Chain A
C-alpha cells in the first residue's frame, strides 16, 4: 500500500476507468477470490477476515480514498484488466495483514499497534508457532492424501509447490489442456471445502 505522503502520487485518471467498469461482473470474481483467500487464511490460522472487508479496502485504495490517505495506482503493464489489478490489491492487503500480525506478535499488549481489523485466531508463543508450522505441514499432507490417485490434481499441487498459481501457466507447465486444469481445480476446491468454515 502506498501512502500519499510517500514518493509519487495517486493518478486520478484511474477513476474515469473505474467509473466506466462493469462492477456487477467484477463483483462475482472479486467475491470468489476474496472468499477463497479468507477461507484459507482462516484454515491456516493466520487471521479471521471477512472477504467483503478485503474487497471494500481494495476498492477504496483503487479510488485513492483508502484508510489514512493510502491508495494504489493501476499499473496496466502488469495488470491489463481491472479484475487482475483489484486482485493484486487484495493480495497486498492480505500480505500487509500478515506482516502486521508478525509485528503484533512482538509488541506488548499496551502498544497501539497492529491491524485493528485483524483478529488473531490465538495468542502465539514460540512453542505454539512450532506447533502451527507442524499443523500446516499436516494440513498440506492431508490435502495430498485427499487427492491421492487423481493424477491431474496431483500435478496441480506440484505446481503450487513451485508457486505457480495461474491456470494458464499450470496448463503450460503440465502440458495439460486448460479445461483439464480448470476441472482439476474444481475437484480440488470440492475436496478442500471442509478445511475451514466460510467466514
Chain B
C-alpha cells in the first residue's frame, strides 16, 4: 500500500462495493473497543440497547431450545430405526444353526472384559431362540455404541 495521502486517488479501484464492505467491517470491529464505547455509540445511533440485547438473548434461548428439540428428535428416530430392524434380524438368526450363531457371538464378543468369560459350554447349553436373542442384543449394543461415537465425533 502506498503510504502517501491521496484523498482523491480512488478512481483506479475497481468495485466501490468492496470498499464499503471493508469500511463496514472496520467500523463494526469491536476487538479493541470497550463495551462502554460500543454502548455509547449505539445510543448515539438512537438504538434502545437494553431492549435490543434483551431480544438477542431471547433469540439465543429460542435457538437453544430448538436445538435441544432437534437432538431429541434425532435420538428418537435412531431408536425407532433400531426397533424396526430388530424383528427382521431376530427372525433371520432363528434360521441359523446353533453353531453358526455361537460362532458369530464369539466373533463379536471382546477378547477381554466381563463378557469374555462366556464359554462355549455356556452358549452350548442355551436354546437356539436364546442364542438368537443374545446375538441380536450384542449387535444392537454395538450399533448403539458406534452411533454414540459418531455423534460425539
Contact = CB atoms under 8 A, between A and B. Distances in A.
Nearest to A145: B7
Given A18-B64, A63-B67, A167-B29, A36 B24 contact: yes
B138 interface: no
B79 to A, nearest CB: 17
Contacts of B42: 28, 31-32, 35
Interface in B49-72: 49, 52-53, 55-57, 59-60, 63-64, 66-67, 70-71
Contacts of A137: 10-11, 16
Given A37-B28, A140-B19, A198-B47, A151 B56 contact: no
A55 B5 CA distance: 36
A165 B22 contact: yes
Contact of A33 (B30, B57, B70): B30
Interface stretch (B33-41, B84-92, B96-104, B120-128): B33-41
Contact of A28 (B5, B32, B35): B35
Contact of B53 (A31, A154, A163): A31
A35 B47 contact: yes
Contacts of A136: 16-17, 20
Contact of B38 (A32, A40, A144, A154): A32
A125 B128 CA distance: 78
Interface of B is mostly: helix
A29 B64 CA distance: 20
A155 B30 contact: no
Contacts of B152: 13
Contacts of A49: none
A83 interface: yes
A155 B56 contact: no
A189 B6 contact: no
A65 B70 contact: yes
A89 interface: no
B30 A64 contact: no
Contact of B59 (A41, A43, A56, A164): A56
Interface in A19-57: 19, 23-25, 27-37, 39-41, 43-44, 46, 52, 55-56
Interface-central residue, A148, A161, A162, A186, by most chain B CB under 10 Å: A161
A20 to B, nearest CB: 11
A185 B3 CA distance: 18
Interface of A: 12-13, 15, 18-19, 23-25, 27-37, 39-41, 43-44, 46, 52, 55-56, 59-60, 62-65, 83, 87, 91, 133, 136-137, 139-141, 143-145, 147-148, 151, 154-168, 170, 173-174, 178, 182, 185-186, 188-189, 192-193, 198
Given A28-B42, A165-B29, 17 more contacts: A13-B152, A18-B60, A23-B56, A29-B30, A32-B30, A33-B29, A43-B20, A55-B56, A64-B70, A87-B28, A137-B10, A139-B20, A147-B7, A154-B5, A157-B7, A182-B32, A189-B27
Interface of B: 1-3, 5-8, 10-11, 13, 16-33, 35, 37-39, 41-42, 44-47, 49, 52-53, 55-57, 59-60, 63-64, 66-67, 70-71, 151-152
26 contacts: A27-B56, A28-B35, A28-B39, A28-B49, A35-B28, A36-B28, A39-B24, A40-B21, A52-B52, A55-B56, A55-B59, A65-B66, A65-B70, A91-B25, A137-B11, A140-B20, A148-B7, A154-B7, A156-B26, A159-B1, A159-B22, A168-B31, A170-B26, A173-B1, A186-B41, A193-B45
